[in-house]
Amino acid sequence: MHNVQHIIEKISILSNAQRRFLVVAVQAILCCRWRINFRSLSEVSVYGEKTYRRHYGTPRDVVPLHRALADSVLRESLSGLRVIGFDPTFLPKAGTHTPGVGKFWNGSAQRTESGLEATITAVIDVERRIAFPLAMQQTLTPSVRQQQALSVEDTAASPEASLEASASNEPWLIAEYLRHLERVKPLLHARERHIVADAYFAKHSFLDGVAAMGLFCITKLCKDANLKYFYCGEARAKGRGRQKVYDGKVLWENLRNDVFDQTRVDDQTLLLSAMLYHTGLKRKLKIVVVQQQHGTTTRRALLASTDESLDALTIYNAYGARFQLEFLLRDGKGFTGLTDAQTRKTTAIDTHLNMSMFTLALARAEHYHTHGLESERPFSMNAAKTRAFNEHFALRILSIYGHSPEMIKNHPEFSAIRNYAIAEG
């Protein structure tokens, strides 16, 4: 990458040795055209395989690094809503000795399979539909988590003790997801208070955990969710018994026009919003019914927000922006080796996942630094990797003949070499 060193030196909070390794590792990931593991990285960089294993196996908090990189691009975006996208992803893994291997849901195959799972959290600019990762963390099974707890001498004094106590009666998977959000929460800005997650997270335990952190959640509900209207009539005279609170069940095929507010998005999309009570989640929610007309067929989706102050259009746009996470995961798996880790250390796996996302974020940062946030030119990870490989390959060949790299980089035709075989969009 042409500006990788400049960007890292500008935002990095690491030591000089760590900064130098980060520059070399990112360039190696971008140049590598095959599976990205310790051996393949050593073949396209000055560091050996043992050096990569040592650095990857050293525990370090990479969330501040992700945060600094995201802020370097999004600092110009001072208006509009920012949300925190949150989603687990399945990572195929053969064998049984890697820590954390278990049965997880594979969305691509639409079934539960044996492998690894990692959770990504990203900050999303809703208006511009731009996403930058904040953290990538492996979902650890109860056995691995228990082994880690036994290795800590005083678990009661650990920062996760309160979370463990609050999640002791909840399923372990939800507890893992809440632990991940606890890791990210200290670095969230004041504007970033809304977690956007898919329908799986419309659970009582998850929403309670998010609310305990002082955050809000925007999610999706089942089409036949059991909700009730609130009673808005006159209060009865004082006497025995409780005042009337609810005014009947919501019938989705026959919605009450006096309760739902209408917002027209376009000719095919209509938003109906109201404050309703969810009997399963036991909480008051801002509900948005998305009705889309496809010919003679009307499709319906239910969105929900625990923040009662948001309007229907904001909830609709925020949940739609969640799809930017899919682009991060697609590019991570296809170009930066998200599924290629070959190690049996949880620390090295965590570093590998975050290095994959950090390299992707750096490529995005270079694109937006060059073309601006408002540019209509789309970002292409394939183009970024092709440029990095072209530059690396050209400098490697020319160095054999004793030419100075600086002289080559300053040549007016060097840009044409970097952009060779790239389709300009």
Question: In this structure, is the dihedral angle defined by the CA atoms of residues 27, 32, 36 and 40, taken in order, positive or negative?
Answer: negative
378-401 average pLDDT score: 87
Residue 349, both tokens: 């796996």
Domain shared by 361 and 391, yes or no: no
Residues 175-201 have pLDDT tens digits of 999 999 999 999 999 889 999 999 999
Would strands 269-278 and 130-138 be described as parallel, antiparallel, or unpaired? unpaired
Same-domain check for residues 123 and 272: no
Judge if 177 and 265 occupy the same domain. no
DSSP 201: G
Residue 11: its pLDDT value, please? Answer: 65
pLDDT for residue 79 is more than 70: no
pLDDT tens digits for range 206-241:
999 999 999 999 999 999 999 999 998 887 767 777
DSSP tag of 47: S
247 close to 230: Cβ distance less than 8 angstroms: yes
What's the average model confidence in pLDDT over 9-24? Answer: 78
In this structure, which amino acid lies at residue 302? L
- For residue 292, list its beta bridge partners: 269, 299
CA-CA distances (angstroms) from residue 230 to 74, 147, 223, 249, 260?
40, 48, 20, 10, 12
pLDDT at 343 over 70: yes
316: in domain: no
Residue 424 lies in a domain: no
For 262, list phi and psi in degrees, rounded to 5: -105, 140
End-to-end, the C-alpha distance of the chain in Å comes to: 19
Q: How far is CA 25 from the centre of its chain?
A: 22
**Residue at 207 is within a domain:** no
What is the pTM for the complete model shown? 0.88
Residues 42 and 89 in one domain: yes
Final residue of a structural domain among 262, 284, 309? 309
pLDDT digits (tens, 9 = 90+) for 401-411: 877 777 777 77
Shared domain check, 190 and 116: yes
Residue 423 lies in a domain: no
Residue with tokens 């990479």: 62
- Identify the domain containing residue 289 by its residue range: 227-309
How far apart are the C-alpha atoms of 119 and 399, rounded to whole Å?
A: 42
